[in-house]
Every structure is written in C-alpha cells, then in structure tokens.
C-alpha cells in the first residue's frame, strides 16, 4: 500500500507517493523524462520493507503543478524540486534512486549536496547529461529551447484528448521499451479523464528542457568525489549499451571506459538483461541487486 503526498511550492505543489514506515531509512525516487512516480510501482514492493520510499513527480509531470506561464523547464529546476521535497520531509541525509533523466538529476543533486546523500542508485543512467561533441551543437540545443518555448506560447494549443486506447497507443509508440502493462501503469498517473477523453498531464514545455552538460573528464572527477556509494544498473537492451548508441553519443561509451579504467574498484556498474524500463517491465531482474546495495552497511563491500 502507498499514500499520496503533496508538498506546497510557490507555483502550486509537487506531488509524490510513499511506501513503507515513515520512520524507516529514507529513499527518494526520481522518474525519467516525461514519466511520473508510477514508474516505481512494481519495483518498490520488492525492495527492503524497513525503508521509507518517496517517489516524486517532477514539476510539470504526473500530478505535480505546471511551472508558471512564460517559464522553461531548466534541468537545475528539477534539482531544486528535489531540494524542496527533502526540506519539506525534513530529511538531512537519504538515499537517491533515479531512472534515466531522474538519474541525471540525482547525480547533480549528489554533487551539489554530497553531505545529504548516503547512497546513489542510477537505473539506466550514468548520472550525467553529456555534452554535445562541438560548440555549434551546444549552441543549437540552447537556441532550440528558446524557439520551442516561444512557439508553444504562440500556438496556445489546448491539450489533445484521446480515448484510453489511443492514449496508451501513443505512449507506447513514443516509448518502444515500454510494455503495454508498463504504459498503462504510467498512464494512470500521467493522464486525466475529461468529458472529451484522456488528456496527458505533462506540461508540453517539459519536452524542451534546458540541460546542464558535462564533459567525460568532469564526469569522472565528480564521480570520484562520491565513490564507494554508487550503484549503476545498465540494461543490455537499454539506451546506454554502446552497440545501441547513435554515433553522436560516443561520450557514453567513453564514460563507461573511464568507469572500467579509473573507477572500477569504487563504483558498482552492473549490466542486466532487459530494456530501458527494466525496473518497470521486469522489476525482479534488478530488485535483488538494489536490495543488497540498500542493506549493506559498508558500501565498499561488493555485490
């Protein structure tokens, strides 16, 4: 069983759901881009029951309020969402678990507030958004954020209503790694029923987030600061396996090589069978690994 939580913020609220005893060891769970807290629905019941798990919806996602009119979704704002929730819960030190974009947010939070994070669990994430290969690509990515925001404001389109079947089909088409069951679970929190049909809850502006980029060298230096308390789980058919990467993402391969050469003895990098959503599609594949990491007293111990 879980309970629903709401944390007031200046523009509305950040929504979350919680499992376990509130006095248990705190674990904050962060979902991926355009997903929501339901991404952890099948995983958390398989994890240690003496922890208190809070899975939050980032602003503009799930049941959380959209940001005010005229605002973009900057990556650092998601990190601020985490800091606000931790303050509201009065957590001084806790574990962070993030999937995909949520892993990058968790990584950034950990680097900014290392004293607040005892362990970091990354699911299909390396803890970073890696920099474009050249300056022009970087500039284009920043320009795109501004242009898309202004375009959305000019169009002022109302959210499109779909039948439940069409809403699920659209979600699955956009996420080839999702199963129908997983998509339906995300849709339960990711859409609202209206007289015209289901409307996605996510803010359209969140589709063009302004990101914070790192080089491989910066990634390695930052990871060395939090070594011995990091677990990274990569899926064999996910988005981070080198043979599945487009050539422009060769930095991911370079970073994985850096893990092997520089950080191998300090960061637990585990490859498992499954897709980008393995934690939702087949949670039993990762639950044992995560449970062992959560319960070990000495994080230098090996899995």
- Residues 34 and 61 sit within 8 Å (Cβ to Cβ): yes
| Helix then strand then coil, % of the chain, to nearest 5 | 45, 20, 35
- DSSP-assigned letters across all residues of 209-276: PBP--B-HHHHHHHHHHTTTSEEEEEETTSSSSGGGS-GGGHHHHHHHHHIIIIITTTEEEEEESS-T
- For the beta carbon of residue 195, count every other beta carbon within 10 angstroms: 5
Opening angle at CA 227, ends 277 and 46, nearest 5 = 35
- Residues 27 and 291 sit within 8 Å (Cβ to Cβ): no
Q: Which residues are catalytic?
A: 100
């Amino acid at each position: 069983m879980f309970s629903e939580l709401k944390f007031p913020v200046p523009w509305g609220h950040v929504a979350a759901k919680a499992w376990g005893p509130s006095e248990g060891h705190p674990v904050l769970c962060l979902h991926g881009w355009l997903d929501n807290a339901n991404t952890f629905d099948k995983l958390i019941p398989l994890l240690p029951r003496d922890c208190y798990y809070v899975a939050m919806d980032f602003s503009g996602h799930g049941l959380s309020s959209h940001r005010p009119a005229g605002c973009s979704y900057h990556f650092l704002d998601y990190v601020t969402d985490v800091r606000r929730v931790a303050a509201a819960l009065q957590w001084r030190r806790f574990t962070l678990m993030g999937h995909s974009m949520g892993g990058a947010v968790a990584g950034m939070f950990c680097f900014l507030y290392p004293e607040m994070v005892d362990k970091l669990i990354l699911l299909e994430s390396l803890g970073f958004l890696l920099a474009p290969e050249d300056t022009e690509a970087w500039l284009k990515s920043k320009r795109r954020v501004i242009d898309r925001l202004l375009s959305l404001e000019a169009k002022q389109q109302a959210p499109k209503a779909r039948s439940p079947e069409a809403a699920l089909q659209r979600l699955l088409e956009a996420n080839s790694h999702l199963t129908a069951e997983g998509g339906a679970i995300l849709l339960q929190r990711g859409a609202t029923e209206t007289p015209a049909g289901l409307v996605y809850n996510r803010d359209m502006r969140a589709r063009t987030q302004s990101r914070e980029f790192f080089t491989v060298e910066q990634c390695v230096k930052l990871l060395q600061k939090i070594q011995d308390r990091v677990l990274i789980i990569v899926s064999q058919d996910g988005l981070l396996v080198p043979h599945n990467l487009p050539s422009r993402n060769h930095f991911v391969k370079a970073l994985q090589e850096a893990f092997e050469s520089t950080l191998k003895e300090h960061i637990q990098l585990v490859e498992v069978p499954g897709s980008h959503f393995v934690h939702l599609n087949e949670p039993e594949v990762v639950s044992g690994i995560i449970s062992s990491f959560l319960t070990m007293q000495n994080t230098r111990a090996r899995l």
